[in-house]
Each structure stands twice: as structure tokens, then as C-alpha cells.
Amino acid sequence: MPTTPAQPSETQLPAAQHETEQPNTSPEPQPQPQPQPQPQAQPKAAHPLRSRNFILLVAGQGISLFGNMMLRFAMSMWVLDETGSATAFASILAISFVPMILGAPFGGVLADRMNRRTLMVILDAASAVTVALALVWFSAAGFSIIAVGVMQVALSLLGIFETPTVESALPQMLRQYGDATLNTSAAIVSQVQQVSALIPSFLGGAAYSFFGIRPMMAASVAAFAGAAAIECFIRLGMPERDEEMPTPLDDLKAALRFLTREKPNLLKMVLLASALNFVVLGYGAVGYAFVIRTQWGFDATVYGIADGLISVAALMGMIIVTMMAGRLKIGHMTKILTLLGLTVIPQGVACMLPGGNWTRLTALVAFACIGDAICSCANIIAVPAIQMRTPDAMLGKVMALLSALAMCMQPLGQMAYGWAFDHLPAAAIFIASGAVLIAMALLSASLFAHFDD
């Protein structure tokens, strides 16, 4: 840093004053100018999104999710081959949702009590051990639907703690850099997660056909173990909290008091996100498959290509959001949700177009791609907005409650839309869903405009 020139010492007198009291009439020597130190160049601080901690977190989560999705895809194929029933594996997944929904809030409690880096390492290592034990069992005893169910439930229980831990570790690292940095980080993490989920979708079938179930399970073990090893090098302190450690139930009560009394707008945002999950996952997860496969008669290959294009569009939406994260604010949510609704209504119109099923499919997929890109924008604005306004000691619990509500809405929305597509015209369902999204956007305009009040 620049420094001021050296000043004469107050205790150092001129030499003539020690010899005589007579005034010295000779001209005083002029002080020689002291050389001023040159300012030293300071090392430029690394951008927080290029920091070691963030890179390790993103890499660990991407590898862990890749292992998870690869295992899920391989297991669905194996169960189908062994039982001839797609319902068997679907039933296992449905059962595994129950502990996730019931236990998710307590996962948030643990995420606020332990070092989150340590917890991520333990969870990924435990996932690796779980799959490795199942692999040994299947190698020795062969296929067992009960063993598959036990493994999936065990992985779901570990997932209870994984989601709130990761979602609270990110703002703990980056909160100090502001909303724009957290928005960009959320977009980057979502991109990596999307790619990690897409690769098994595209390559999983060929890998399963060529290698079989056991090498794919071994690959999942390696992925979980690799993620745990990477996460060991993350530097993250303990969450900030009071010295007194309340019981887990008191911790949850404190989180609910925080949402209902101190930050009611956060609770409204959580409820809005859950309602959006009900609608979007309902028409997206059920409607597209039903219309494309059942009503229009396309085969699994065509549906897979359509689904892949929609997923790629979501990824492109995340990339766009990454580039403009600094300009996206919570106040933009009304326009974004309105645009989302305006992309769903044309999907209903596409179901009524003349010209054959290929014309309808092209129009449906085009607007679905735009809608998924817009959904990416909404997610990447809403989740960091909740994280930035939640104290570090509450992050795990609040994000866990959000996750639990979202998981509750997913099966409810799918069941409701399943009934609707069985009994009502698809065009009417899509148009009504778009209208509901627009109504939700308009009714929430006041919430977004006064979010920090």
C-alpha cells in the first residue's frame, strides 16, 4: 500500500542546540527529500466462482449425481428384464419416497448442526458402501426384488440429508458476494446436474446392453467414492449458530417460527414453489409421455428424442441465465411465470392442429423447450432468493422444508394429472394449466414487488 514520507523524530534535536544557546544565523540546511516507497502490487483476488471450494463442490455433486442416475437407470432396466413388469420398479421408487418426505426436515436439522463438508463426505461414502454391499449380494445370490428395494430405500434415506446439506453449503460459501454471484453459482450447479443426469439417459441403455448390471453398479460405487474423495478437500467451517444446542424438534419449531413470523414472504415463496411443482411436473412428467406415446402412437425412440430435446433446452436456459444472472432479480418473477404460462397454452393448441401427428409433435416439443428454458430461469432466481434471506443457522432446515413440500407435490401432481389425462381432452388440460400459471403469476405480483418488506 502507498505510505507517507518519513517525518523527523520529535525527540531528535538539531546538533547546534546541544552546544550553545546562541541563535544560529547560518542558513539552515534544506532537508533532503526522502524517496517515497512505491506502492506494491496487490495480488488480484480470484473470482469466487473460480475458487477451489466452489469447483470441488460442483465436481463432487456432478460425479455423485452421475452415479445416482446411472444406478437408477440400470436398476430400472434390470428389474424390467427380471420381472417383466415396469410397475415393480415404479412401486419401489414410490415406497422410497415415503422416508424422503417424512425425514427431509430432520435432514435439514443435521445439516445445520454438523460441518457440511464432513456430512457430504460421509453421505457419499455411505452411498458407495451401500451399493457395494448390494453388488456383493447380487453377485452371490442373484436377483432379489427385496434386496433392490432395501438398497433403494437406504439410498433414499441418505438422500434425505444430501439435498439440504448441499443447498445450504452453497450460500455458506458465497453469501458474502451478493445475489448475482449466488444466482450464477446456482445456474452453474444446475447445469452440471443437468448434464450429469443427461449422460446416463443417452448412454445408459447402450452401457447396460453391453456390460450388464454389475459393471454399472461398480461404476456407481466408483462415482460415489470419487465424489467423497473430492469433497474431502473442500474447506468449510461449522454453520453459525447459538452456543446452546436445542433438541431436533425445537430446531424444527424455530425454523417454522422463522418462516411464519419473521419472514412470512419466504414461506409464501416456498408454498408458491410447491404449487408450481404440482402443475409443471404434472403436465410435464405425465402429459408429454401420455400424449406422445398413447394418444399419438409414437414409439419409445421418438419419445426419447423429444424428451432429450426438452432437457437440452432446459440446459440452454441455465446457460443463458448464467450469462445474465447479475440482471435477474426477484421482481422479474411475475414476468417469467407469465411467460411460462404463455408457452403452455400453445401446447394445448398444438394438440388440435391439423396436418397429422408429426406436425402436432413438432409444435408441442418446440413450445415445451421454450417453457423448460423459462422454468430454469425461475428456479435460479427463486432458490437463491430464499437462500440469501435465510440465516446460516436456519439454511438446512428451511431448504429441507422446501424440498419436503416439493416432494409431496410431485406424486400428488402426477396422480391428479394422470386422472385428468385419462378423462379429459389433452388440449383442455394444457390450456387450463397455462391459465393457472398466469393467474399464479398475477396473484404473486405483490409478493415479488415487496419481497424484502
**Cβ burial, residue 401 (10 Å; 0-12/13-18/19+):** buried
Task: Report how far residue 196's alpha carbon sits from residue 64's, in angstroms, rounded to the nearest whole number.
Answer: 9
Alpha carbon distances (Å) from 449 to 62, 209, 263, 330, 334: 35, 53, 15, 8, 9
Give start-end residues of each CATH 1.20.1250.20 domain in the chain. Answer: 48-232, 247-453
The answer to whether 191 touches 316, Cβ cutoff 8 Å, is no
Rounded to 5 degrees, what are φ and ψ at 81?
A: -65, -40
Could you read off the pLDDT tens digit of each residue along the chain, which spans 453 residues?
444 344 433 334 333 333 334 444 444 455 555 555 444 444 445 677 788 888 998 899 889 988 888 888 788 778 877 877 656 666 776 676 777 777 777 777 777 788 888 999 999 999 999 999 999 999 888 888 888 888 888 888 887 788 778 878 888 888 777 777 777 777 787 778 777 777 776 677 677 778 888 898 999 999 999 999 999 999 888 876 655 667 777 777 888 888 888 888 888 888 888 888 889 888 887 888 888 878 888 876 787 788 778 878 877 877 777 777 667 778 888 999 999 999 999 999 999 998 888 999 999 999 998 998 888 788 778 877 887 788 877 777 887 777 777 777 777 787 888 888 888 999 999 999 999 999 999 999 998 888 876
We find that the CATH architecture of domain 247-453 is Up-down Bundle (1.20)
Integer Cα distance of 162 and 62 in angstroms: 13
- Per DSSP (E only), the strands in 238-335 are none
8 A C-beta contact, residue 279 and residue 399: no
Instruction: Determine whether domain 48-232 maps to CATH 3.90.550.10.
Output: no
- Give the C-alpha distances (Å, rounded to integers) separating 70 from 37, 76, 77: 61, 10, 11
- Three-class SS of residue 212? coil
Taking the alpha carbons of 322, 326, 328, 329 in that order, is the dihedral positive or negative? positive
